[in-house]
C-alpha cells in the first residue's frame, strides 16, 4: 500500500531511540492527537536497537508517510542522533524529544506558536520554571540534576533554568547554523547548543511536568556524568585541546599510577632488573589504559565481544612504537643515574601523544570516520 500524500511539514519532531519498541506506537498516537492541526513529520533516529525498534517504526511508516526512521549502524549517542535527524528534514522548525513519553507532548503546539510569533529563538520544555516539575524523582536524582544544572551554567547563561532539558524546539535554519560547532557528546544536546550559539540567543521556557517512563528501562548510567563533564570541558577548553585527548590523558594518569605501582613492586620488592620491570609495568598499564579508554574516551565507538580483544591487539601493536620509546627513554635516563621515578615518567610522556593519535585511528578507528 502506498503512503498517503501529506503537505510539506512545518514541524519535524526528532526522536532518538534505543530499545524503545514498546513506546513508539503510543508516542506516535499521542503526537497525532496534539498535532492534528500542524503539518508535521516524525523522524526517529534509531541506534540499531536489538529489540527491533526500527522495524516497528517502519511498520508505522507504511501506514503514515509522515513517519520516518534513520537507522544508524556502528554509531551510538543521543546527541549525535538528534543532530543527524534534525539535518535530514526540510521542515521549518525542529523539535527534540525522548521516546519514553516522559516529555509532555501536549505543549508542542504552544512551543511552535511561540516561535511563529517570534517570541524566542529557542523554546525549552522546562521542569524548573514556574509550573514545571520533576515528577516522582527521589532526593538523590533531584540533587544530581540540580548539581548538573549548576555546572552547566559554566557554559550557558544562568538565566536558563533547565539547560539540561532534552525537550526543546527551534528553527531548522538556526540549528543548521550552529550544528558544525556542536560537540554532540552524550545526552545533553541543549546545553551543547546554548553554549555554542552564545548569549545572543533568545530563550523561552514553557513549563511541563516530567512523567514516569511509559515502558522499558532508563538508558542513563553512571557514565552519563562523565560524558557531561567532557561536554563542559570541551566548551571551556576544546578550542585549544581536543576533549578526547583530555579524557585520554586523564585515563593515562590512572595508567601512570598503575605503571608506577607495578614498577615499584617488581623493581624494589621483587628486585627484578629495572628494564624488565619497566617492560612489565608498561604492558600492564597499556592493557588497563585500553580497557578504561574503551569505556570512557571512546564510549561512542566502544568495542565489545570479539571486537574488544581484536581492538586490544590492535592497540598494543599500534602503540608498540610508543612503548619502545617509553622503555628506551626510561632505561637511558636511569642508566644516566636519573631517579627511577623521573625516568619512568619521562618514558611515559614520550609515548602519550603518539599513543593517542595512533590508537584513535587504528584501535577505535575514530580518525577514519
Range of lowest pLDDT (3-7, 149-153, 168-172):
3-7
Residue 369 has pLDDT above 70, yes or no: no
Q: pLDDT category, 117, cuts 50, 70, 90?
A: very high
Within-domain flag for 3? no
Is the same domain home to 233 and 271?
Answer: no
Residue 1 lies in a domain: no
Which residue in 218, 62, 251 sits closest to 136, CA to CA?
Answer: 218
d(CA 133, CA 117): 26
Task: Please give the grid coordinates belonging to residue 288.
Answer: 588497563
Residues 229 and 290 in one domain: no
H/E element, 52: none
Question: DSSP characters for 76-92?
Answer: --HHHHHHHHHTT---S
> Do 93 and 172 form a contact (C-beta atoms < 8 A)?
yes
Under 8 Å between Cβ of 132 and 209:
yes
Residue-number span of the structural domain to which 49 is assigned: 11-237
Residue 6 placed within a domain: no
Tell me, yes or no, whether 285 and 212 share the same domain: no
Q: Rounded mean pLDDT of 40-66?
A: 94
Residues 31 and 136 in one domain: yes
Residues 205 and 277 in one domain: no
Residues 259 and 336 in one domain: yes
Summary mean pLDDT of the chain: 86
49 falls within a domain:
yes
pTM: 0.77
* The pLDDT value given to residue 271: 80
CATH, residue 19: 3.90.550.10
Instruction: Report how many domains make up the chain.
Output: 2
In this structure, the answer to whether residues 182 and 293 fall within a common structural domain is: no
Specify whether 67 is located in the same domain as 168.
yes
pLDDT single digits (tens) 152-200: 888 888 889 999 999 999 999 999 999 998 887 767 889 999 988 877 8
| 17 close to 99: Cβ distance less than 8 angstroms | yes
Q: Residues 232, 338: one domain? A: no
Contacts of 188 (CB under 8 A, 6+ apart): 79, 152, 163, 164, 166, 228, 231
CB-count burial class (<10 Å; 0-12, 13-18, 19+) for 41: buried
Q: 253-297: per-residue pLDDT in tens?
A: 888 888 889 988 988 888 888 888 888 888 888 888 899 989 888
| Backbone torsion region of residue 305, taken as left when φ is above 0, otherwise alpha when ψ lies between -120 and 50, otherwise beta | left
Asked whether the beta carbons of 35 and 110 are under 8 A apart, the reply is no
Copy the grid coordinates of residue 56. 516497528
Amino acid at each position: 500500500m502506498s503512503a498517503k500524500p501529506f503537505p510539506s511539514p512545518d514541524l519535524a519532531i526528532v526522536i532518538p531511540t534505543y530499545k524503545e519498541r514498546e513506546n513508539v506506537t503510543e508516542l506516535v498516537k499521542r503526537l497525532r492527537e496534539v498535532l492534528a492541526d500542524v503539518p508535521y513529520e516524525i523522524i526517529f533516529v534509531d541506534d540499531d536497537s536489538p529489540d527491533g525498534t526500527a522495524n516497528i517504526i517502519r511498520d508505522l511508516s507504511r501506514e503514515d508517510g509522515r513517519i520516518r526512521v534513520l537507522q544508524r549502524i556502528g554509531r551510538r549517542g543521543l546527541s549525535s542522533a538528534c543532530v543527524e535527524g534534525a539535518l535530514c528534514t526540510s521542515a521549518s522548525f525542529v523539535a527534540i524529544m525522548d521516546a519514553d513519553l516522559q516529555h509532555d507532548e501536549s505543549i508542542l503546539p504552544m512551543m511552535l506558536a511561540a516561535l511563529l510569533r517570534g517570541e524566542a529563538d529557542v523554546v525549552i520544555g522546562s521542569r524548573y520554571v514556574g509550573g514545571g516539575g520533576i515528577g516522582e524523582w527521589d532526593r538523590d536524582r533531584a540533587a544530581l540534576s540540580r548539581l548538573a544544572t549548576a555546572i552547566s551554567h559554566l557554559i550557558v547563561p544562568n538565566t536558563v533554568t533547565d539547560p539540561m532539558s532534552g525537550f526543546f524546539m527551534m528553527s531548522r535554519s538556526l540549528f543548521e547554523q550552529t550544528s558544525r560547532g556542536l560537540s554532540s557528546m552524550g545526552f545533553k544536546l541543549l546545553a551543547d547548543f546554548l553554549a555554542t550559539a552564545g548569549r545572543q540567543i533568545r530563550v523561552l521556557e514553557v513549563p511541563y511536568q516530567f512523567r514516569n517512563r511509559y515502558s522499558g528501562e532508563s538508558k542513563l548510567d553512571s557514565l552519563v556524568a562523565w560524558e557531561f563533564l567532557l561536554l563542559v570541558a570541551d566548551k571551556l577548553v576544546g578550542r585549544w585541546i581536543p576533549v578526547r585527548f583530555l579524557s585520554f590523558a586523564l585515563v593515562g594518569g590512572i595508567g601512570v599510577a598503575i605503571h608506577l605501582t607495578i614498577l615499584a613492586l617488581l623493581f624494589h620488592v621483587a628486585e627484578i632488573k629495572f628494564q624488565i620491570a619497566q617492560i612489565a609495568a608498561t604492558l600492564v598499564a597499556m592493557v588497563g589504559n585500553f580497557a578504561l579508554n574503551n569505556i570512557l574516551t571512546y564510549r561512542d565507538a566502544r568495542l565489545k565481544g570479539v571486537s574488544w580483544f581484536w581492538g586490544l591487539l590492535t592497540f598494543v601493536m599500534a602503540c608498540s612504537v610508543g612503548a619502545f620509546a617509553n622503555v628506551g627513554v626510561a632505561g637511558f635516563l636511569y642508566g644516566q643515574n636519573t631517579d627511577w621515578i623521573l625516568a619512568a615518567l619521562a618514558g611515559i610522556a614520550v609515548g602519550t601523544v603518539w599513543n593517542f593519535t595512533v590508537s584513535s585511528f587504528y584501535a577505535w578507528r575514530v580518525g577514519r570516520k
